[in-house]
Amino acid sequence: MASANDNRVIIFDTTLRDGEQSPGASMTLDEKLRVANALAELKVDVIEAGFAIASNGDFQSVNEIAKQVKGPTICSLARAAKGDIERAAEALEPAENKRIHTFISTSPLHMKYKLQMEPERVLEKVIESVTLARKFTDDVEWSAEDGSRTEHDFLCRCVEAAINAGATTINIPDTVGYTTPTEYADLMTMLFNRVPNIDKAILSVHCHNDLGMAVANSISAVNAGARQIECTINGLGERAGNAALEEIVMAINTRNDAFPFTTGIDSTKIMNASRLVSAVSGFVVQPNKAIVGANAFAHESGIHQDGFLKNSETYEIMKPESIGLNKSSLVMGKHSGRHAFREKLKELGFADLGDNAIEDAFARFKDLADKKKEVYDDDIVALVDDGMRDN
């Protein structure tokens, strides 16, 4: 088991549960199985396959993933209710390694308005739900929903009680994406200092991206001792989404000097998983999205292209191959310069063109680039051919 003293961070993927909760992102059983297999290839540690009680379809997908997908631990979400936990256990029955993830809200706002329950009753439910879940598996995760807005004394009592009842992972979600990186680290430190049995469980974080801080918050929590991050491919998830798996993994890999942790992820499978999730969820990845956006390894400006062609590290901090992309791309547009243009001509089979012809073609290219957002390979072939005919 990972602990705060070792540097291995558990990657818990919730694309198929929290990700699928994005309005309009629902997936068919077949699509979920394909995503689960891609996650297994990526070597995530835990796949949260769904919320078994939510619908018969959700039950079936958790159950089929539990039957068919080998490698990661398969998990189902369950509220702090007998029916939920029993249904999760039933769906997970065929899994080699299974986890029940049970949760209840602990913040004053959620307890008063959503649950309409007194804190003492919530505490009882924490104990009842974890105790029941432990009857089906010894891998039980307990989450304090809206944990980041929970009063500290009460959070400590709930966490201690959940661990005593048998929870092996304690997850503190930032359900509404409200927390800052410093606050998250302080929250983790507070739990390590005040909960007497905290070392008997893995501390986990689950960050939403409402203020764009989900990845920073997750890594900050790990810096303070958390050893599981809950995340999704492409940051898919409720509202502004969840922490993006690919950003967390590549931040740890690329800045290992600043974040001295390891994951079990095979980063070369990132692009494959990203494209699949985008296709089946129908959520297009924005071009400038970190790591997996179409422009993440593309260069258009002449200065950048020239530097990149001399040494890729001038403008790239990661290798495209490290996420499973063949190569970076030089996009030909009005900002492109001669160096990239010459390289493009070579790539298109015009290696023998003389200097005058290249200059002529470059001038035509610049004229065209002023009229178009991007000049495609076919455009360049046509303008070189035109030049040859004119001469």
Q: Annotated binding site for Mn(2+), which residues?
A: 18, 206, 208, 242
Give the amino acid at 59.
F
Q: Is 76 helix (H, G, I), strand (E, B) or coil?
A: strand
Kindly state the smallest distance separating residue 231's Cβ from ligand KIV, in Å.
12
- Closer Cβ to ligand KIV, 98 or 101, answer by number: 101
d(CA 34, CA 16) in angstroms, rounded, equals: 11
* Sign of the dihedral defined by the CA atoms of residues 243, 244, 247, 250, in that order: positive
Q: Rounded to the nearest 5 degrees, what angle is found at the Cα of 312, between the Cα atoms of 309 and 314?
A: 100
Q: How many chain residues are in contact with Zn ion, going by CB under 5 A?
A: 1
Helix (H) or strand (E) holding 48: strand 46-50
Number of residues written out for the chain: 391
Which of Zn ion, ligand KIV, none has residue 334 at its interface (CB below 5 to 8 Å by kind)?
none
Which residues inside 11-50 make contact with Zn ion, applying CB under 5 A? 18
- Closer Cβ to ligand KIV, 72 or 173, answer by number: 173
Tokens describing residue 362: 């470059």
- Closer Cβ to Zn ion, 13 or 18, answer by number: 18
Which of Zn ion, ligand KIV, none has residue 143 at its interface (CB below 5 to 8 Å by kind)?
ligand KIV
d(CA 12, CA 205) in angstroms, rounded, equals: 10
> Interface with ligand KIV by CB under 6 A: which residues?
18, 103, 143, 145, 173, 175, 206, 208
- Cα 215 to chain centroid, rounded: 9
Helix (H) or strand (E) holding 178: none
Which of Zn ion, ligand KIV, none has residue 145 at its interface (CB below 5 to 8 Å by kind)?
ligand KIV
Kindly state the smallest distance separating residue 31's Cβ from Zn ion, in Å.
21
- Closer Cβ to ligand KIV, 91 or 369, answer by number: 91
Residues 6+ apart with CB under 8 A from 56: none
- Closer Cβ to ligand KIV, 102 or 336, answer by number: 102
Kindly state the smallest distance separating residue 79's Cβ from ligand KIV, in Å.
9
Which of ligand KIV, Zn ion, none has residue 103 at its interface (CB below 5 to 8 Å by kind)?
ligand KIV
Tokens describing residue 140: 């039980």
* Sign of the dihedral defined by the CA atoms of residues 118, 124, 127, 130, in that order: negative
- Closer Cβ to ligand KIV, 173 or 241, answer by number: 173
Kindly state the smallest distance separating residue 283's Cβ from ligand KIV, in Å.
18
Task: Name the residue with the smallest CB distance to Zn ion.
Answer: 18
Query: Is the CB of residue 39 less than 8 Å from the CB of residue 264?
Result: no
Kindly state the smallest distance separating residue 208's Cβ from ligand KIV, in Å.
6
Nearest alpha carbon to residue 361 among 375, 380, 374: 380
Kindly state the smallest distance separating residue 142's Cβ from ligand KIV, in Å.
10
The footprint of Zn ion (CB under 5 A) covers: 18
